[in-house]
Chains A and B, each alone.
Chain A
Amino acid sequence: LAKTTQPISMDSYEGQEVNITCSHNNIATNDYITWYQQFPSQGPRFIIQGYKTKVTNEVASLFIPADRKSSTLSLPRVSLSDTAVYYCLVAPSGGYQKVTFGIGTKLQVIP
């Protein structure tokens, strides 16, 4: 499984756009990239998933360059309620039973 590297923590002011980048240099051809969000004392929540280029939903955007060796989760105009830990996962279809979540990126939104 591809190993992922993401910053341990980030701070941002309310109303700003936040970009969290995840490196996955040894991503395989059939790997998908998935991001989860976790609030304290809650289970992780699926945010977005992509394979290449750009994916957007009502919560976030996911940018994946052509070489797919990294991905960037973009959160538009963050609010205090976006303070959470964000996990980047890379795994092939059918391979999620082996996924390791790691420690993620702790995003702190400042008033």
Chain B
Amino acid sequence: SQTIHQWPATLVQPVGSPLSLECTVEGTSNPNLYWYRQAAGRGLQLLFYSVGIGQISSEVPQNLSASRPQDRQFILSSKKLLLSDSGFYLCAWSDSAMETQYFGPGTRLLVL
């Protein structure tokens, strides 16, 4: 069966510090991968998606970037965090044929 992992689960970072969140998927090949952010009490905002290694599409201009160095690895990064980057970050995958998205446990980021 397929599983999706995210780490860390919780992160507290100072403003201006770098960020690296990692997401890995097991049990599938060539998945579509997604990064979402959810602010408190809000819906999910799609940040990036990827249909293959090195292929990244950005949905929202921001202080973040994403990379996909391996087929089942998706990384969300920032060089300098802003207060507004605080939120709940979710990684998801989908089978390119089925489209239903399966979400990871999420990372709660607090920028102080």
Contact = CB atoms under 8 A, between A and B. Distances in A.
Contact of B103 (A43, A96, A100): A43
Contacts of A65: none
A104 B41 CA distance: 10
A33 B101 CA distance: 13
A99 B42 contact: no
B64 interface: no
Contacts of A101: 36, 43-44
A19 interface: no
Contact of A43 (B42, B57, B105): B105
Interface string B67-104: 00000000000000000000010101010000111111
Contact of B42 (A32, A95, A103): A103
Given A94-B99, A97-B32, A97-B49, A43 B104 contact: yes
B49 A103 contact: no
Interface of A: 32, 34, 41-46, 49, 87, 91, 93-104
